Structure 1
Amino acid sequence: MPDVVFAVKDTDGRYLAISEGCVRRCALRNRLQAEGRTAHELFPGAMADRYRQQDQTLFAERRPLRDRLDLTVYPDGAPGWCLTGKQALRDTDGQLLGLVCISRDLAELTRERLLDARFAACVDHIQAQYHRPLRLEELCDLSGLSTGQLDRRMKRVFSQSVGDFIRRTRMEAASHAIAHSRRPLADIAAGCGFSDQSALTRLCRQMLGLSPRQLRMQVHAPRPAAARD
């Protein structure tokens, strides 16, 4: 899949492995040339700064990053937009080893000029500020788009309306907190932008088919002992 690239980095941002697609984009002769190097040695400065900031956010927040709208370098050397996801890598004891990054080009949307820095800033704002009330007027101002234009653009890029994208972003944060902490559900609801615990419960049931308590119990349920030979 030429429009998808992946990379593995250590906790200092040094590349441990990259895909062939990444080799071509970075004008390298082979994968080995990337080993031990950082994004600042392979990508333009502003791109590398953003990638490094994402890595630090991933490690600090201890939850995966999904659907980050980034500028990257396409195989022909031209800049273009992509959607990026990042997941921390840990050993069997839970110690942090690094991360894996997978990006998918948005070449068609880039050609149609449907993506730009202002729209990306709007998406970033939702993903960073989901814990507080988000007004549609505020998002339109950030993106430079009308209400209808912004909704259509979100559907082209994420296959979701603005409202659905906000709800999904909040639910992802809340479900991670439910599964990986013992915080009271009311605190999680408030910290993830829900009006109250009931709103969190409704969306959790709608999106995951479980209540928050059921989700927590499922994650923390004792695992069956391994079968003996």
Structure 2
Amino acid sequence: MNARFGAELALAGLFDYLPDVYLYVKDRESRFIAANQSLWKMRGYESESEMLGKTDLDLHPRYLAERYMAEDRQVMESGTPLPNQIWLVPSQPGELKWFISSKMPLKSATGEIIGIAGVMRDLEKAKSAATSFDAFEKVVNFVLRNYEQPLRVNDLAAMVHLSVSQFDRRFKALYHMTPQQYILRVRLHAACHEILASGGTVAQIATRCGFYDQSYFSKQFRKHLGISPTDYRLRYQDSPGQLSDSLGLAPLLPS
């Protein structure tokens, strides 16, 4: 099977020279068929071969793995890349960190989609060479550190000296979602973590994650996760094992 991915597997070795980038290649069943050194080491393996053939269900808590694999299917079914998506990813036992993940479908010589390739960047460490992306990364990090606070798009636009319409257009081009959708996505990711890592009520979790209306929180959670917050806890309560209490990033450095 791996012969079908020959060029992709040959190029994967180049990513061993980019320690802040995590590369993987998966087949149609979301089984890993290539991973760079940064990724397999982060997953706790001694070599790439130990990770190959496994899926996210073998590597991650089920509540995260099922969503990663659902996104894989989305990319393969649509046949289009999905860049710069924000995800919580286990980096060490008990620790979740914010990553930017980009995926693209892989096609055979006949045009058949045979898998995906993806890269991830740790938002706490990553520095982009592109000035335009650096500016928006500042906004992304601000939201990740302040998602529990009221956030206004016009304030975010002002951070990068753009009008709201310019900001909205450029943000959507980079992240394939509007700023409002990004804020909601971050808050829902944080809520998923809180539901499983804490014993808080739905109302308490909603407030801690920036939702000031429990009904709205529950509605959005069900819309995007396909399940209520209470049922989510029941389904995955044995999944995460040891989870850290905080999703905070290191303090922002002076610019």
Residues 165-201 of structure 1, C-alpha deviation per residue, up to 9 Å, x if partnerless?
0000000000111122211111111010001221210
Correspondence 1:65 to 2:102: no
Q: 1:131 to 1:60 in 2, by over 3 A?
A: farther
Correspondence 1:114 to 2:132: yes
SS of 2:99's equivalent?
Answer: strand
SS of 2:133's equivalent?
Answer: coil
Q: Which residue of 2 aligns with 1:22?
A: 16
**Structure 2: which 5+ residue stretches go unaligned?**
1-7, 21-36, 42-90, 102-118, 240-255
- Asked whether the 8 Å contact 1:83–1:106 carries over to 2, the reply is no
SS of 1:115's equivalent?
Answer: helix
Q: 1:120 to 1:106 in 2, by over 3 A?
A: closer
Distance 1:151 1:62 in 2: 32
Residues 82-136 of structure 1, C-alpha deviation per residue, up to 9 Å, x if partnerless?
96148xxxxxxxxxxxxxx9x8x989xx4xx6323x3221111111101010012
Alignment coverage as a number of residue pairs: 147
Query: What is the correspondence of 1:84-103 to structure 2 with a 5 Å cutoff?
Result: 84-85=121-122
Q: Which residue of 1 aligns with 2:58?
A: none
Q: Which residue of 2 aligns with 1:199?
A: 216
Give the C-alpha shift of residue 217 in structure 1.
0.7
Based on CA coordinates, which of the two structures has the bigger radius of gyration? 1
Give the C-alpha shift of residue 23 in structure 1.
1.9
Distance 2:157 2:18 in 1: 37
**Structure 1: which 5+ residue stretches go unaligned?**
6-18, 36-57, 69-81, 87-100, 223-229
Which has the higher relative contact order, 1 or 2, with Cα contacts under 8 A spaced 6 or more apart? 2
Distance 1:24 1:158 in 2: 22
Distance 2:195 2:215 in 1: 14
Q: Which residue of 1 aligns with 2:144?
A: 127
Query: What is the correspondence of 1:30-69 to structure 2 with a 5 Å cutoff?
Result: 62-67=95-100
- Asked whether the 8 Å contact 1:119–1:144 carries over to 2, the reply is no
Q: Which residue of 1 aligns with 2:228?
A: 211
- Asked whether the 8 Å contact 2:202–2:214 carries over to 1, the reply is yes
Distance 2:142 2:18 in 1: 32
TM-score between both structures, scaled by the size of structure 2: 0.48
Q: Which residue of 1 aligns with 2:181?
A: 164
Distance 1:163 1:21 in 2: 33
RMSD over aligned Cα, in angstroms?
A: 3.9
Give the C-alpha shift of residue 22 in structure 1.
3.4
Q: Which residue of 2 aligns with 1:177?
A: 194
* Off by >4 Å, runs of 4+ in structure 1: 58-61
- Asked whether the 8 Å contact 1:173–1:192 carries over to 2, the reply is yes
- Asked whether the 8 Å contact 2:136–2:171 carries over to 1, the reply is no
Distance 1:24 1:62 in 2: 22
Q: Residue 205 of structure 1 aligns to which amino acid in structure 2? A: R
Distance 2:205 2:234 in 1: 16
Identity across matched positions, percent:
27
Q: 1:190 to 1:24 in 2, by over 3 A?
A: closer
